[in-house]
Structure 1
Amino acid sequence: MNVTAYQPYFGVTPKNLNDSDFNRLTTYFELLDAVQKPVVSLVIPIYRAKETLVAHMMSLANLKTIIPYEVIFVENNADDESLSILNELGARVTSQPLQGITYARQKGLEEAKGQIVCTMDPDSIYDPYYIDKMALPFFVDKELVLCYSVSKSYEEDFRLSSKMRFRNTLKTVYFRWKLSQNFTTKIKHIRAVCMAIRRETLLPIGYDVDLRAVSGCDDGMLAIHLYNLGKFKYIPVDVYTALPPKREPGKPFPFCNERFLPAQKTLEETYRKLELVKPLR
């Protein structure tokens, strides 16, 4: 898969697309609406995704499979630009006003009709055969509850410099080694950007929605719950995603940090009033 082929779609809106690409995407979502009994559900939370969303959609439209599937975008207080892209292209959108990635994924799980739920991200580009590679193993092994893979990274506008290609090679080797280790090590390195889960196993568990406890680590927390319920399987498949945002050690990710938690206004005002004013010299 050539992720750099998606460079023309970085930062674009439906108005910037040529007629061929626009018609392709709108037709794609129209055809998805006609699917009555999806076997696979692709769930994509949307928060701030305007720069990569169209490219992500193009990668979905390039999926090659005979398996009936649905695509559910869960807007989680998304920005106006991202919402406009979804609406203009006719994508299926459901809303979750409770802020946080785990709330969004839980909403998608509840809406999903497929036997297999794939958790995906809107800043990622997926292998054309992603659905087949991630979903078909579940029908071979009835004890399988989770398929997972390792994503690679791209630079800002889907560029891949020599340095990034080398980094991706090291990352793949490193993560595959970590994923072959014991329970504690493996769980820490499973990522929601490329997970496929048996829905009947996942539904009774659901996602942990206390963001103060999980700090955005919905993937690892979910894997912990699934671990004793069946088998895990690593799948070698191409997925390219954006580099993770910088964050302070021990702090939640930006999409679920403390600015979204209930503010203790009275206490904050008291602290300000108690502050000592330094005398002028």
Structure 2
Amino acid sequence: MTITDYQSYFKATPQTLNDYDFKRLTTYFELLAEVKKPVVSLVTPVFKAKDTLIAHIMGLTNLKTIIPYEIIFVENNADKETLSILEQLGANVVSEPRQGITYARQKGLEEAKGQIICTMDPDSIYDPYYIDKMALPFFMDKDLVLCYSVSQSYEEDFQLSTKMHFRNRLKVAYFRWKFSRGFTNKIKHIRAVCMAMRREVLTPIGYETDLRIVSGCDDGMLAMHLHNMGRSKYINVDVYTALPPKREPGKPFPFCNERFLPSKKPLERTFQELEIDQTTK
């Protein structure tokens, strides 16, 4: 399947699926539940993912590998629609009540059983041979601790216009050039949407859950630590993800923006939201 083949699954729910697709997805999770000793763990945090989640899972069913693997969805105070999709399909879901992407990824790491941890995003579609391409290098190089790649973008409802196709080609070329420019350039452009790590090296490091104002939060910082533990490798593999959300100048992406954190001053926050002038005249 190509990325545009997933258009019919945009905003899909278990109720809108035809009988064949619904049975395919539920059977997929039933079979995964029988895997007792996974070699690879695919970890996907979910928050508000209802629009793309069915398509993401459908993409996972197209993975082709002989390597036993598991899939862990970490719900991080997810909305009820997202949770309902996962529940109806029988997915493996764990909960992390502490809000934040780093908390969610840390929970996934703690729950994972595989030797290799692959971090994923629920708005992304992965190459059918993603597991083999990202995991097998670890078994050929004992000093390898991190494999990473570059994601391409799709437009809303999994469209891929000529303009976006051209943009993706430039993006991949640009990032590969950045990766070749040494540690300082490379480390800033590694993204958790397509990272694979050796668990025995990753576990003692863990995710820095106290991060608040670092763009990306979970990927660059972790890549820095892993860099000191062994070798990393760029993998040429297709990954398509939604365009990133807009952000305020000088601010991180919304999922780790401090304005999304619970406020200790609810009254002042209310004033700000209502645009009430608190000054006295």
User: Do the structures match in fold with TM over 0.5?
Assistant: yes
Match of residue 100 from structure 2: 100
- Counterpart residue identity of residue 132, structure 2: D
Quick check: 1:74–1:108 contact (8 Å CA) kept in 2?
yes
Quick check: 1:40–1:115 contact (8 Å CA) kept in 2?
yes
Matched, 1:32 2:32: yes
Match of residue 237 from structure 2: 237
Match of residue 149 from structure 1: 149
**Long gaps (5+) in structure 1:** none
The CA deviation at 1:257 is 2.0
Match of residue 81 from structure 2: 81
Quick check: 2:213–2:251 contact (8 Å CA) kept in 1?
no
- Counterpart residue identity of residue 133, structure 1: K
Q: Tell me how far apart the structure 2 counterparts of residues 268 and 79 of structure 1 sit (CA, whole Å).
A: 26
Match of residue 255 from structure 1: 255
Quick check: 2:41–2:69 contact (8 Å CA) kept in 1?
yes
Match of residue 280 from structure 2: 276
Match of residue 116 from structure 2: 116
Quick check: 1:75–1:96 contact (8 Å CA) kept in 2?
yes
Q: Tell me how far apart the structure 1 counterparts of residues 182 and 256 of structure 2 sit (CA, whole Å).
A: 29
Aligned pairs for 1:47-86 within 5 A: 47-86=47-86
Encode CA deviations 1:16-47: one digit per residue, 9 max, x unaligned: 00000000000000000000000000000001
- Counterpart residue identity of residue 191, structure 1: R
- The size of the alignment, in residue pairs, is 277
Encode CA deviations 1:71-92: one digit per residue, 9 max, x unaligned: 0000001111100000000000
SS of aligned partner of 1:16: coil
The CA deviation at 1:268 is 3.0
SS of aligned partner of 2:186: helix
Match of residue 162 from structure 1: 162
Q: Tell me how far apart the structure 1 counterparts of residues 29 and 153 of structure 2 sit (CA, whole Å).
A: 27
Q: Tell me how far apart the structure 1 counterparts of residues 169 and 96 of structure 2 sit (CA, whole Å).
A: 37
The CA deviation at 1:181 is 1.2
- Counterpart residue identity of residue 148, structure 2: Y
Aligned pairs for 1:125-140 within 5 A: 125-140=125-140
Q: Tell me how far apart the structure 1 counterparts of residues 97 and 266 of structure 2 sit (CA, whole Å).
A: 25
SS of aligned partner of 1:214: coil
Quick check: 1:14–1:22 contact (8 Å CA) kept in 2?
yes
Task: Summarize the Cα distance change of 1:34–1:266 in structure 2 as closer, same or farther, 3 Å threshold.
Answer: closer
- Counterpart residue identity of residue 156, structure 2: E
Task: Summarize the Cα distance change of 1:274–1:58 in structure 2 as closer, same or farther, 3 Å threshold.
Answer: closer
Q: Tell me how far apart the structure 1 counterparts of residues 39 and 102 of structure 2 sit (CA, whole Å).
A: 23
The CA deviation at 1:214 is 3.1
- Counterpart residue identity of residue 261, structure 1: L
Quick check: 2:116–2:196 contact (8 Å CA) kept in 1?
yes
Quick check: 2:4–2:160 contact (8 Å CA) kept in 1?
yes
SS of aligned partner of 1:276: coil
SS of aligned partner of 1:82: helix
Moved more, 251-260 or 233-242: 251-260
Q: Tell me how far apart the structure 1 counterparts of residues 277 and 127 of structure 2 sit (CA, whole Å).
A: 56
Q: Tell me how far apart the structure 2 counterparts of residues 149 and 247 of structure 1 sit (CA, whole Å).
A: 23
The CA deviation at 1:256 is 2.4
SS of aligned partner of 2:64: coil
Match of residue 44 from structure 2: 44
**Long gaps (5+) in structure 2:** none
TM-score when normalising by structure 1: 0.95
Q: Tell me how far apart the structure 2 counterparts of residues 229 and 267 of structure 1 sit (CA, whole Å).
A: 46
Encode CA deviations 1:203-234: one digit per residue, 9 max, x unaligned: 00000111325344211010011011100000
The CA deviation at 1:265 is 1.8
- Counterpart residue identity of residue 159, structure 1: Q
Quick check: 1:102–1:216 contact (8 Å CA) kept in 2?
no
The CA deviation at 1:262 is 4.4
Task: Summarize the Cα distance change of 1:275–1:237 in structure 2 as closer, same or farther, 3 Å threshold.
Answer: same
Moved more, 161-170 or 257-266: 257-266
Moved more, 254-263 or 201-210: 254-263
The CA deviation at 1:254 is 1.4
The CA deviation at 1:250 is 2.2
TM-score when normalising by structure 2: 0.95
Q: Tell me how far apart the structure 2 counterparts of residues 224 and 75 of structure 1 sit (CA, whole Å).
A: 26
